[in-house]
Amino acid sequence: MKRFQYVALLTAAFGVFSLQLQEKPVYAASALQTEHAPGSQPTDKLGAEAYANHCAICHGDQRQGNLPAFPPLIGIKRQMTDEQITTLVHTGRGRMPGFPTLPDPELTAILHFLGTTPGVASAAQAAGGSAAKSQTSGLAQAGGALFRQNCAFCHGRDAMGGETGPDLTRSKLVHADVNGDKISEVVREGRPQKGMPAFNLSSSELQSIVAFIHGQVASANSMQGKRRGVDVADLQTGNVEAGKAYFNGPGGCAKCHSATGDLAGIASRYQGLQLEERMLDPRDVKSGVIVTLPSGKQLKGIVAYHDEFTLGMRDGDGVYHSWPVNRIKYTIDSPVDAHVKQFSQYTDADIHNLMAYLQTLR
Amino acid sequence: MKLLKEALVLAAGALLTLGASPHSLRAQNLDSADLIKPPADSWPLYHGDYSGKRHSPLTQITPRNVSNLSLAWAFQTDQTASIKASPLLVDGVLYFTVPDNIWAVDARSGHMLWHFHHPTTQGDHIGQRGVAMYKGWLYFTSPDGHLISLNAKDGSVRWNKIIADVNKGYWTTMAPLVVANHVIIGVSGDFDNLTGYLRALDPDTGETQWQWNSTPPAGTPNTTTGGMTWMTGTYDPKLNLVYWGTGNPTPVLNGSTRPGDNLYTCSIVAINPDNGKLAWGFSVSPHDTHDWDAVETPMLVDGTFHGQPRKMLMQASRNGYFFVLDRTNGKSLLTVPYGPTNWTKGIDKDGHPIPNPDKEPAPDGRLIAPDEGGLTNYRAPSFDPKNGLFIVDAHPSYSIYFAKPADGNYGWAGADYGLWGKGVIEAIDYQTGKIRWSHEVGRGGSGAGVLTTESGVTFTGDAYGNFLALDTSDGKTLWHAGTGASIQSSPISYELDGRQYVLTGSGGVLFAWALPPASTHSPQKVARTP
């Protein structure tokens, strides 16, 4: 709640700031009124009527939208300037029709109306921000539906982990996220290396998903017992000495790694499941490559792309080169291969012991 | 606004067609005979035919000329959802889907005839695997558990029936299977402790004819729930049996509340399509605790097995084992791993893997091969009769599985994390399970299914979005084309106007490949070209 008020303040401040950048006074006037409750201005009635006549059929009486087809307009003024909204209303976009002949006074009133809080009397807002609460939970509700459609298969319906995807209520990134500043980037760009696709969601859709996830963090924190996921405490069943012996002996770890060299302090950098996953498959480690061209010239670099037909390489200066594989000779040095070979060799005890040993390297 | 108008037109169309007699649909009259023996200019079932072999009898594209393969057309869905559907082709029109959407597209040119858009806000939108068709009507499952019947001519809705309760946690993605006068549907939903089922509906009215439940009702003590039926089965018209794979038990990773084999989860079942009675069931993963749905194609092959003529059923299952059964009685002929597996104590005398209790998910983790996605998944395999090869897009992989009492006994009830995997197209000799050849398709694995043709070409894709044509005899690459996105569907093939097309979806785009028209008009000339 506190956070929301802070954001509201911030956006209001931003509204004032953007007012100074506005050139057309008609928009400036409405920007000034951002976040005011309805009932306080004569334009309110006109705005509500104009909204009801032109917008409500798709975006809903309470601006709640009808996802995925029609985005909610709650909080739209935090994502778009009045100028952008005006352009959008005039020209339309996607399945949204344009309203090029909408009279200016009506448009101004709509812009003002969009800055108000839906369905709540100003007195309620003054009485302690319940308006903000209902707006947030409306968003989270819309986000919940979107989450179940797009995210639930991997992250679980309640965002607490499911097939292949981690528990988001325990995610450091989610905890560090403020109003979607971190989550949005991950959703939009995906994490291809970890198998998470990018999602092309609108800002309002993203905002609602973010609201849902934060809501789930709160409800997960209030849950006792039945938490899914892996705690550091779960991974303490191994034997340090046996792990050390495996490291230096049959595990073959010491062939490439050293407890006092590259792995010194590893347990301070990674803990728990993250450490175990890196131990078993350090997936972000790059492969080196030496390419011999038909001329005999040799190039050295990092493998940037490699399929059956093409080799892409980034050289020491970061420049990308690529060749059809049948035109060159090349040798790839992939240190991860040793980890892959080990999968069929480990017993579960080997893994637990190795974990116990690595956790002593602080 | 435009959308509203379209909706009105659709609604009006639906009203009009209500009064129309079925005889007016002759132009697109797909009958049971066509389904039993599909003509070469059609692909009227999810698997192309009832057998699930995905082996095309077409021979225009050959290992010799496939290097000339080029783009005939591409269709953009303009959607972010990947195409996971297998298109149907009937009377020159293709029908394919992503969640909430169906397109009807001219199979010769790739231009759109109509688009059905039915936005739903409930249910998992994980994928949509295609429509079924019977007598000019399409059958489409929506994420929120509805079966919608549409007029194939214009996409107008005839009826819309609820087949699964989305509020309980079911959703639907699968392409229904039409057998005689039955539309057979299956359901998804393993995030809750729910009973899986198959249901047959009347093709004309959508009324339920029968329902077969995989597991006892939820809440029955010491029994399992689960056994979802989310992939399209196969059918043997002579034995009049439908074959279907069932999904994992629930709770998923915690097996303590569901002792025993958990029938009929992770099983292959044979069911009489006229009354829903079980003829036999075979447990592919007794007491599964790794989410290995056994829903992969239960492929029907007639041939000899160790010298004896057999009606066989073959499945490369998600749990890492390749099964050959006698489909008349469900008895095992062969059970053999086709990649790394480490979760069994061997195979019992009846061909069932014996799960190792030490490899059940545990508080401190267990290393498991394959991973949760399995050694293969919904992507289709193919059978090449000439070489006796079962060709599958395999996914050797490792993962760690956790479960502790605090995870409870509802829904997922644990956590698992994939560590590493790669894609390998494997050609399995069905007589022995030996891998005749394998073709690596990249880190992480490919989502592409497999199609073989009578001329000896195997079509599939790699992990980087390359569409591949391989030589079926040795697995060597004959041709490839980058498609720019991950391939998540299985290729199909058909012939129209004397020209053979191969279709593959990649991202939200459907690609049609064919030989250049000149070469298809004079095949002899091609044969003489060096």
Q: Does A225 touch chain B (CB under 8 A)?
A: yes
| pLDDT confidence bin for A14, thresholds 50/70/90 | very low
Tell me how far apart the alpha carbons of residues A300 and A298 are, in angstroms, rounded to a whole number. Answer: 7
Q: Are strands B451-453 and B55-56 parallel, antiparallel or unpaired?
A: parallel
Mean pLDDT of B48-57: 98
Residue A150 has a pLDDT of 85
Q: What is the mean pLDDT of residues B282-299?
A: 98
Residues in chain B: 530
Q: Do A139 and A212 belong together in one domain?
A: yes
Residue with tokens 């402790």: B193
Domain count across chain A = 4
Q: How many Å from the N-terminal Cα to the C-terminal Cα in chain A?
A: 39
What is the percent of chain A with per-residue pLDDT over 70, rounded to a whole number? 79
Q: Could you give the 3-state DSSP secondary structure of residue B210?
A: strand
DSSP single-letter state for residue A80: S
Report yes or no on A11 lying in a domain. yes
The pLDDT value recorded for residue A159 is 87
Amino acid (1-letter code) at residue A312: G
User: Per-residue pLDDT averaged across B25-54, rounded?
Assistant: 87
Q: Are strands B466-471 and B477-482 parallel, antiparallel or unpaired?
A: antiparallel
Asked if B301 and B312 count as a contact pair (C-beta separation under 8 A), the reply is yes
Distance, in angstroms, between A68 CA and closest chain B CA? 7
State pLDDT tens for residues B86-96.
999 999 999 99
Report, in angstroms and rounded to the nearest whole number, the Rg of chain A calculated over CA atoms: 28
| Statement to judge: residues A265 and A305 lie in one domain | no
Q: Which of B143, B402, B413 sits opposite A230 (nearest CB)?
A: B402
Mean pLDDT of A193-220: 86
Taking the C-alpha atoms of residue A162 and residue A156, their distance in angstroms, rounded to an integer, is: 4
The answer to the question of residue A173 being in a domain is yes
Q: Which residue of A has its CA nearest to B3?
A: A95
pLDDT in tens, B183-210: 999 999 988 999 999 999 999 999 999 9
Which candidate, A102, A116, A115, A135, places its Cα nearest to that of A31?
A: A115
Last residue of a domain, one of A125, A146, A176: A125
- A226 found inside a domain: no
In a shared domain, residues A324 and A279: no
Per-residue confidence band for B523, with pLDDT thresholds at 50, 70 and 90? very low
In this complex, is the C-beta atom of A206 within 8 Å of any C-beta atom belonging to chain B? no
**Which 296-315 residues of chain A touch chain B by CB within 8 A?**
307-309
For residue A239 the two structure tokens come to 């034997």
Sequence-ordered list of residues with C-beta below 8 angstroms from that of B98, at least 6 positions apart, any chain: B77, B79, B81, B82, B83, B84, B85, B127, B128, B508
For residue B11, what is the enclosing H or E element?
Answer: helix B2-19
Beta strands in B189-277 (DSSP E): 197-201, 208-213, 225-226, 234-236, 241-245, 249-250, 267-271
Residues across chain A: 362
- The answer to whether residue A110 is domain-embedded is yes
| A38: closest CA of chain B, how far (Å) | 28
Select, from the ranges A45-49, A105-109, B438-442, the one with the highest average predicted confidence (pLDDT): B438-442
Pairing verdict, β B466-471 and B457-461: antiparallel
Q: Measured between beta carbons, which residues in chain B are less than 8 angstroms from residue A68?
A: 119, 121
pLDDT value for A165: 80
Q: What is the pLDDT of residue A24?
A: 37
**Any residues with CB less than 8 A from the CB of A355 and at least 6 apart, and which?**
A235, A238, A243, A275, A276, A279
| Residue B188 burial (CB count, 10 A) | 29
Q: Phi-psi category of A116—alpha, beta or left, where left has phi over 0 and alpha has psi -120 to 50? A: beta
Output the pLDDT for position B123: 87
A244 and A196 in a single domain? The answer is no
Confidence of residue B24 (pLDDT cuts 50, 70, 90): very low
Q: What is the dihedral sign for C-alpha A22, A23, A27, A33?
A: positive
Convert B406-425 to b/e letters by CB count within 10 Å (16 or more is b).
ebbbbbbbbbbbbbbbbbbb
Residue A307: is its pLDDT beyond 60?
A: yes
Q: Is residue A319 part of a domain?
A: yes
Number of C-beta neighbours around residue A318 at 10 A: 8
Contact partners, residue B112, CB within 8 Å, separation at least 6: B75, B103, B104, B105, B106
Show Cβ contacts of residue A2 under 8 Å, excluding neighbours closer than 6 positions: none
Q: Two tokens at B418?
A: 């994939």
Residue A121 sits in the same domain as residue A6: yes
Confidence of residue B229 (pLDDT cuts 50, 70, 90): very high
- pLDDT at position A211: 92
Q: Residues of B with catalytic annotation?
A: 291
Considering only A10-14, A235-239, B121-125, which range has the smallest mean pLDDT? Answer: A10-14
Neighboring chain A residues of B291 at a CB cutoff of 8 Å: 163
Nearest chain A residue to B339 by CA distance is: A344
Q: Give me the helices (H) in chain A, please.
A: 2-21, 25-32, 43-54, 56-59, 82-91, 104-114, 122-126, 130-150, 152-155, 172-176, 183-189, 203-221, 240-248, 266-269, 272-280, 336-342, 348-358
- From residue A230, give the alpha-carbon distance in Å to each of B398, B401, B449: 18, 10, 34
Same domain, A205 and A315: no
Q: How confident is the model at residue B438 (pLDDT cuts 50, 70, 90)?
A: very high
A153/B124 touch (CB, cutoff 8 Å), yes or no = yes
Tell me, yes or no, whether A49 lies in a domain. yes
Beta bridge partners of B439: B425
Of B99-103, B249-253, B412-416, which range is least confident? B412-416
Give me the domain span that covers residue A328: 288-334
Whether residues A82 and A43 share a domain: the answer is yes
How would residue B122 be classed by pLDDT, with cut points 50, 70 and 90? confident
CB within 8 A of B231, min separation 6: which ones? B129, B174, B186, B245, B293, B295, B296, B297, B378
Residue A229 forms part of a structural domain: no
Residues A61 and A171 in one domain: no
Query: How far is residue A73's CA from residue A55's CA, in Å, rounded to a whole number?
Result: 10
Contact flag B121-A352 (C-beta cutoff 8 Å): no
Mention every residue, 6+ apart, whose C-beta is less than 8 A from residue B352.
B261, B282, B283, B284, B286, B332, B335
- Return the CATH number at A141: 1.10.760.10
Per-residue confidence band for B157, with pLDDT thresholds at 50, 70 and 90: very high
| Yes or no, beta carbons of A199 and B407 under 8 Å apart | no
CA distance A33 to A29: 7
A332 in B contact zone (CB under 8 Å): no
Question: Which superfamily, per CATH, for B43-514?
Answer: Quinoprotein alcohol dehydrogenase-like superfamily (2.140.10.10)
Any domain includes A97 = yes
Write out chain A residues lying below 8 Å of B462, CB-based.
307-308
Cβ contact, residue pair B406, A225, below 8 Å: yes
**What's the per-residue H, E or C state across B390-424?**
EEEEECCEEEEEECCHHHCCCCCCCEEEEEEEEEE
Specify the pLDDT at position B130: 97
Residues A247 and A329 occupy one common structural domain: no
Confidence check: pLDDT of A77 > 60: yes
Q: Which residues from chain B sit within 8 angstroms of residue A235, using beta carbons?
A: 364-365
What average pLDDT does chain A have?
A: 80
